Structure 1
């Protein structure tokens, strides 16, 4: 059942809107907590353009050359997206460094590329009604990211979706996991991959210097693609369910050895591999910090 956004949106005159394409083309307001309306002028809001939040982008604290000066942008700290949205263009929130919290009620088919990349202050993201594709570079270089929650299994986690994020523990529920999906998560110690995976590049685990445990919840070794990860981690444990057969255990070991993730097939071990479902975070509590 679709959960509808329960919050009062900002007045419509805070947005420039193209009625024909049903697209927000610009945010022209000054509020730092942005609740996007379902309709503008009676027309459903279905899309957000790449430049819609240009006035909330902070280039001063980015690696880009800029004429922007301190204070030239709206320091947007929270955005709430309604369930009417169908599409958000690539990188729509890139370099919104003040953005801390995103609550998305839109059941998006895809996030498109780099939606929140380099949002250096981003901490919490909740996809209330799920998303099918967490596309390439979604959270790349979000160096303060703490929580990402998504309803149900996603179809795909793309290239560097979680690249260079600081989380120490991550639970992933996806059908397809691309190469370098988690690359550069230097603090990551444990990653749990739920069952139902149809394809997983072992190159997803590249550049994880702190990784201690990879839990595989009933994944067929035939769906693992042995891409080069070059970890060579002799202390890493690959944990598989207790009912894993000897043949499967050996096959998983060969795959992880071939990808240079482990140094010894004996690092693949049977054990308790299940993890309870994470409940949806308390959104009301999260938003109380903003007076919403």
Structure 2
């Protein structure tokens, strides 16, 4: 009996303490509701104002604002956001579905952008991520359909899956050499993307990474890449050229068979007095491999300066 009473007292005391703490840490100040974190700083939980240009305050009630909570600014009529200097974290879904958001001024101390943080912000045109950011969550800029320019000169190692999925206006992206992995579907559906410079330290390219990039005309695979996912290059430009400097094998599953025509490094037989065989990458001659007479049976022993070759064509005929 005594044990039961004691247990009840402990549970009751814990509930009272938690209730007291909850009341203590949650507060509001004008246009913001917030909660106090364990370190004494605060996280904004919601914005109740009506301003179209919002400047996140450095402090509220004398406490430093270091984090923006989940869903705290979503579905609002905001056109411009300026982040305060003390902010280190944008949580998941913080700014999702702001239809009129055109500009975000990031701060230099930001460390983390959560998943879907800016997803479906259809008026956002440009993003410049500060160097100190170490994590960008999945789908962070998913379906930002007006987004044209992105600067990822930051400290992230991985571009998580779906980050720029469906960004149909994306034309230019700059990536830091710190990036070693590009996840699944990252640029899927970016139909205006014509060219991209992949980081020198890149190791893996995810499934359907560039699928549907119908304007993409060329890509150079860095020497260190060891893995390319299924359908990574499906549906790119008809005259697409690939420059493969790595040891990875370019196979059917990367570029589906129905899309193979005239898109890979090819060997072309030129017919002249003696005939010649040249290894070509697009219109650029890489290396002369042999000299043959027209009509001769040719055994090809190919060594390429641009890496492995998947498709070989002689006089328009595909060779296995």
Alpha-carbon RMSD: 2.6
Paired position in structure 2 for 1:138:
140
Output the CA distance in 1 between the equivalents of 2:251 and 2:175. Answer: 18
Cα 1:221–1:125, aligned 2, differ >3 Å: closer, same or farther?
closer
- The 3-state SS of whatever aligns with 2:265 is helix
Q: Which stretch shifts more, 122-131 or 97-106?
A: 122-131
Paired position in structure 2 for 1:179:
184
Cα 1:108–1:197, aligned 2, differ >3 Å: closer, same or farther?
farther
Output the CA distance in 1 between the equivalents of 2:68 and 2:235. Answer: 43
Q: Which stretch shifts more, 157-166 or 82-91?
A: 82-91
> Which one of the candidate residues 180, 203, 209 is aligned to 1:198?
203
- The 3-state SS of whatever aligns with 1:193 is coil
Gapped regions of structure 2 (runs ≥ 5): 1-28, 267-279, 285-320
Contact 1:140–1:161 (CA under 8 A) maintained in structure 2 = yes
- The 3-state SS of whatever aligns with 1:16 is strand
Cα 1:20–1:167, aligned 2, differ >3 Å: closer, same or farther?
closer
Output the CA distance in 2 between the equivalents of 1:181 and 1:266. Answer: 25
Paired position in structure 1 for 2:87:
85
Paired position in structure 2 for 1:52:
72
Match runs of 1:108-119 below 5 Å: 108-119=110-121
- The 3-state SS of whatever aligns with 1:186 is coil
Paired position in structure 2 for 1:60:
none
Contact 1:50–1:89 (CA under 8 A) maintained in structure 2 = yes
Paired position in structure 2 for 1:33:
53
Q: Which stretch shifts more, 136-145 or 76-85?
A: 76-85
Contact 2:110–2:130 (CA under 8 A) maintained in structure 1 = no
Contact 2:131–2:155 (CA under 8 A) maintained in structure 1 = no
Cα 1:103–1:204, aligned 2, differ >3 Å: closer, same or farther?
same
The aligned length equals 231
Q: Within the alignment, does 1:167 sit opposite 2:170 as a pair?
A: yes
Paired position in structure 2 for 1:260:
255
- The 3-state SS of whatever aligns with 2:135 is strand
Listed one character per residue, the Cα deviations across residues 196-219 of structure 1 (whole Å, up to 9, x for unaligned) are 123322531222222111234x33
Q: Which stretch shifts more, 110-119 or 258-267?
A: 258-267
Match runs of 1:60-71 below 5 Å: none
Runs of 4+ in 1 over 6 A off after TM superposition: none
Paired position in structure 1 for 2:229:
226
Gapped regions of structure 1 (runs ≥ 5): 1-11, 58-72, 272-292
Paired position in structure 2 for 1:287:
none
- The 3-state SS of whatever aligns with 2:250 is helix
Ranked by relative contact order (alpha carbons within 8 Å, sequence separation 6 or more), the top structure is: 1
Cα 1:149–1:221, aligned 2, differ >3 Å: closer, same or farther?
closer
- The 3-state SS of whatever aligns with 2:232 is coil
TM-score by length of 2: 0.64
Output the CA distance in 1 between the equivalents of 2:94 and 2:55. Answer: 16
Contact 1:39–1:45 (CA under 8 A) maintained in structure 2 = yes
